[in-house]
Structure 1
């Protein structure tokens, strides 16, 4: 290595100086690094800012040079050619140092102000404040308005804050989703636990009939107007066999009033009429200012009338398909829930078609079908089928519960059930499908001698609305007249033991459960079974007795629900009823039907007035020697006529007798004309004579029918009165 290089190296080495002396090489590297840092930060700065920064670096370097000892500085300056007068240099040096100190102090002051401005700017930005000075400030912030670097940093901070906000929102969304998912899982676990609990009451496993799999399935059939003692007439072999195979009470009690719509909806909801709101076939609602009338579709099909939760709503809400065949209330869109299958009411539908409809529902694809879950609900097999059969009630009203015609109707209904059971057996479903057969009420025979004229009982000019029938609910025009009207009716019926007078809020029998609803009229006239109250414009009782008119309908219901003539039936068989054949349970009211049907297919019932749950608890067999027998109640006795009524009856009977004698005479003459010695002309006219004979015989039969009516205490051949049923 050349001598000059070695000397330079030696002079520049740190080991030639004091321990406290700075390393010139490191100083140089430090300066270069700071310059590089400044070069890296040039982006976004003005040329003036760059120049100012360079001066600061150089002056800082000069200040660092003052720390080098004088002897070493001389060597360094000698190496780099630093000659000149020392005094002048000292003077200049002191002046320069003074200037540098002043400039340094000025720069530091500016830096402090700039940093303070940036700090305040950052504070305003974090707080969402303004980015430009307000008019209230004494001078604008030049660092905000003019510095490109500050604006860049401000933009970076904004981006960082926006990113932080997005991150926070994203995390919150994730946490919320986790919480919601956890809640859904908890709810699913809760529902699963409830389903498991219900499944202990009714077998939930799918049962196979050899070709399909069936979950718990129940068919509920209602025979409207089928009185319990109809089973004692020897007309119902199918129903009697069904009882022997299943479980049933001696009879089932309807609810008060014992009419069709309130009782069918009670069986569907498990609630008393006062609770579900259908308090009669007809009634007035003070809130709606409207009348409910069961045969008026525009009224009866509005969901506002129907409270509670019927079976089909309970089922559909729990994912169980339902099929409803003409059940009262099923077309009312209750709760906004529609049955999967619903058949509109058709009073003329033949019984065979009802059997076909029920079996068609059972034949629909079930859960074993590959595409079951993707099918529309009205294509899926229902687990709950409700079928309504009105014909017994219809003929009971038209002909009376003891008529020849009703006997044939009872046989026809029994044959219908036979075909249904045969259809289930052909499908190998007798032991897989539950069948429950019920009725809603019984029937009592009417008579013109058991009628009361409403106008004879109360001042109808003070009545605004009348509800119900054959019992009557009265709504006074002025509520202040209620007490006086009650006293008036009580006075006018004091000699008639066949009627009861009640105030809804005072003395209505508790067992009726018929007071806790404003739809129930405040004053009620309740006749005994077989009696009826009529308005004069519908049927004039005195004129009817005088003219021998017959009152229609010939059968009625709606009376005290505990009267023997009002008794209904309940019979059940199937896997949900694993009892001994012919089992007997205690008599119960039809508020229990809802819970029983729900349990039979594993549904969780809605709140209701029922208390029975499956399995039922038998108290013995119907065949046990100590089992009481179902009696056959007699019709109410004919009312003892007053002298005026007796005179009218005798006159009518005389007219009937004369008509019968005349018919007999004409028939005899007609028969004598048809002797074996008839001429050939007569023989040639044989066809027309046969028609004539048939006509006369029909006339004679009509007269004999009237005579039979008179023998029963019914006077005459004309009929008036109510034609409604239900």
Structure 2
């Protein structure tokens, strides 16, 4: 009787059958158990055979299990290199826990009997495996995105830190080296010269006295005029140009004013009452520049000596009203001739400034003293133009014309005064009820008793109702919004604002009735401080240089002087401090000054003819003053060889005689009876003479002026 190979376990060791066959038979039976010897009784050869069988069985079982999972039939066994590679790939791609479980079951002798069960579950396993694979891919993508985000954030942070380190460690002159331009002998960083001609009215350009400025306009960019800020007086407007802030914002609200918090008075001509830092708010140009390591020189600009914000300035020139104009030219050129930061001999103690701001008071001074239509002012205007010509010539000689920016501005205009256009303060209000009087020629009133403010306002309104040449405002109620003159406690609560050409005076300054009776001439002969939008208050702005790369003669729309601060900052690469301006470089031209459609040059009436006088007696006084002055002027003019030619500016000319002297002569003649007979003749001949006189005065003999009341600005 034949026996099956597995009936006698001892035959395994001696059988000619291979160990592989034994292993296959041993584990494909589901009915019989294994009754071999304990492992401790096996020989060394048995151990080797068993280990070999275990390894082969594992591989075969794994292959069979995978076939079962895929529903494939056949008992053929293929074990080799390529199958092992496929198996490794399947493991890497997620041959998941289900496969591992199946292989474990087959190794325990269970896999063969569950082939059909695994086949039934194969579809479910595939779906679960696909979901697991997708979940793993999604997790990997999210993980990758997180890593990328972290890396990008690290790179950005590194760049920011590197830039900050560079910014803090690199001197500004080195960082600006790329912006430096050579004039052939030295490297120049962006540089701007700012020149203010105090009191230079916009229409002064149309008097054939300013060849340099008119040519400068043809080379640069400018509006027809620049508007000052209210009130149109020197200190508030110069500090507005320096800060870009309205007077109500920077705090210098007038040439004179009272601060109720400090309980102190600001008075512009007194250093003890004007050069303390607490008066000056905002951040002026020279402070902005020095804070950003741009060296600055300030030549007599109002407010520059106050040591604002405790900032040290490279050069501060104290005010000297008697300095001659050629000295100003030398000063500006001397600053430009200093060694630059890249030059041999450069010194931290004497750096070359990139911003030079120079103040020129001459036109304003003579405008107050003689009047804006006097012969004297003509010569002053011409001299200021010649000073600018010397500066531009100096730039040309140094090959700096296209390297250095030049900006020329003024702070306000000027209007002619007259006794007939005066208002007596005592006729409107009792000064004994006031604690302080601010401003001039407009008056800000502070009542001693705050409760009396409504009554005093009503009183002044009633007493000026018949005079259209004066306006009355309460700071907190009806001050015009366009003035930007209400949001500061330094602004007085009650204001009397005269129309342009008019002035308010106290009796200790000038007794109006007595002055009219005596024929006195009111000093000063020229005034400003009026509505900043009036044509006689218009200022100038002209700019040329690399920061203004426009076609020569470019025209732009008029703007207010709060814009100047930003323009200057941009011209030399400064970051402006907060201010009220919005205009930035590059400026936007709207045409050309030579365009045929450009509006003609406008010369406003001065004296102002649009405001009626409050009484006929004032009109008579005006005529008397005009013809008294004219009589001596005609006497001088009659000796001219060519009356139609322009009066010479020779200092020895009889036309240079101040109006006060001619007025005195006329008054002396009046005392002898001559004045009355002259008026009788003029009264009868007025209709025929008026047109000739007006034309002669307008074309040939500017109105004379005289004296100085001591209140400039």
- 2:348 is aligned to 376
Distance 1:403 1:254 in 2: 23
Q: 1:581 to 1:488 in 2, by over 3 A?
A: same
Alignment of 1:357 with 2:331, yes or no, is: yes
Distance 1:718 1:246 in 2: 34
- 1:530 is aligned to 501
2:531 to 560, 570, 583: 560
Gaps of 5+ in 2: 1-157, 637-652, 676-692, 698-703
Q: 1:655 to 1:216 in 2, by over 3 A?
A: closer
Distance 1:391 1:350 in 2: 9
Alignment of 1:407 with 2:381, yes or no, is: no
Verify the 8 A CA contact 1:547 1:648 in the aligned structure 2. no
- 1:485 is aligned to 456
Deviations 1:229-285 (Å, cap 9, x if unpaired)? 000111111000000000011100000000000000000000000000000000000
Verify the 8 A CA contact 2:417 2:527 in the aligned structure 1. yes
- 2:136 is aligned to none
- 1:464 is aligned to 435
Alignment of 1:585 with 2:556, yes or no, is: yes
Verify the 8 A CA contact 1:401 1:444 in the aligned structure 2. yes
Deviation of residue 299 (structure 1)?
1.4
1:342 to 316, 337, 341: 316
Deviation of residue 195 (structure 1)?
8.8
2:576 to 590, 595, 605: 605
The residue matched to 1:550 in structure 2 has which SS?
Answer: coil
Deviation of residue 639 (structure 1)?
5.7
- 2:117 is aligned to none
1:318 to 285, 292, 310: 292
Distance 1:654 1:389 in 2: 34
Verify the 8 A CA contact 1:546 1:649 in the aligned structure 2. no
Deviations 1:176-230 (Å, cap 9, x if unpaired)? xxxxx9998674457799999x98xxx9611000000000000000000000000
Verify the 8 A CA contact 1:204 1:216 in the aligned structure 2. no
1:225 to 199, 207, 217: 199
- 2:340 is aligned to 366
Q: 1:404 to 1:654 in 2, by over 3 A?
A: closer
Distance 1:220 1:651 in 2: 44
The residue matched to 2:282 in structure 1 has which SS?
Answer: coil
Distance 1:622 1:448 in 2: 39
Verify the 8 A CA contact 2:420 2:622 in the aligned structure 1. no
CA RMSD in angstroms comes to: 3.5
- 1:435 is aligned to 406
Alignment of 1:546 with 2:521, yes or no, is: no
- 2:393 is aligned to 422
Verify the 8 A CA contact 1:449 1:641 in the aligned structure 2. no
1:216 to 190, 197, 201: 190
Gaps of 5+ in 1: 1-180, 665-693
Within-5 A mapping of 1:14-163: none
More moved, 528-537 vs 643-652: 643-652
Deviation of residue 462 (structure 1)?
1.3
Verify the 8 A CA contact 2:367 2:414 in the aligned structure 1. yes
Distance 2:505 2:482 in 1: 26
Verify the 8 A CA contact 2:235 2:254 in the aligned structure 1. yes
The residue matched to 1:435 in structure 2 has which SS?
Answer: strand
Deviation of residue 338 (structure 1)?
2.5
- 1:624 is aligned to 595
Distance 2:359 2:462 in 1: 43
Deviations 1:291-317 (Å, cap 9, x if unpaired)? 000000111111110000000000100
Deviation of residue 722 (structure 1)?
3.1
The residue matched to 1:551 in structure 2 has which SS?
Answer: coil
Alignment of 1:333 with 2:307, yes or no, is: yes
Verify the 8 A CA contact 1:441 1:567 in the aligned structure 2. yes
Q: 1:706 to 1:594 in 2, by over 3 A?
A: farther
Deviation of residue 625 (structure 1)?
1.4
Verify the 8 A CA contact 1:471 1:559 in the aligned structure 2. yes
Alignment of 1:259 with 2:246, yes or no, is: no
- 1:270 is aligned to 244
Alignment of 1:724 with 2:711, yes or no, is: yes
- 1:132 is aligned to none
Deviation of residue 642 (structure 1)?
3.9
- 1:121 is aligned to none
More moved, 497-506 vs 638-647: 638-647
- 1:445 is aligned to 416
Verify the 8 A CA contact 1:550 1:720 in the aligned structure 2. no
Distance 1:701 1:284 in 2: 34
Verify the 8 A CA contact 2:277 2:309 in the aligned structure 1. yes
Verify the 8 A CA contact 1:503 1:523 in the aligned structure 2. yes
Q: 1:566 to 1:652 in 2, by over 3 A?
A: closer
Q: 1:617 to 1:651 in 2, by over 3 A?
A: closer
Verify the 8 A CA contact 1:459 1:485 in the aligned structure 2. no
Distance 2:240 2:199 in 1: 15
TM-score of the pair, normalised by structure 1: 0.65
Deviations 1:436-472 (Å, cap 9, x if unpaired)? 0000000000010000000111122211101000000
Distance 1:704 1:280 in 2: 33
- 1:691 is aligned to none
More moved, 320-329 vs 643-652: 643-652
Deviations 1:79-114 (Å, cap 9, x if unpaired)? xxxxxxxxxxxxxxxxxxxxxxxxxxxxxxxxxxxx
Distance 1:243 1:339 in 2: 31
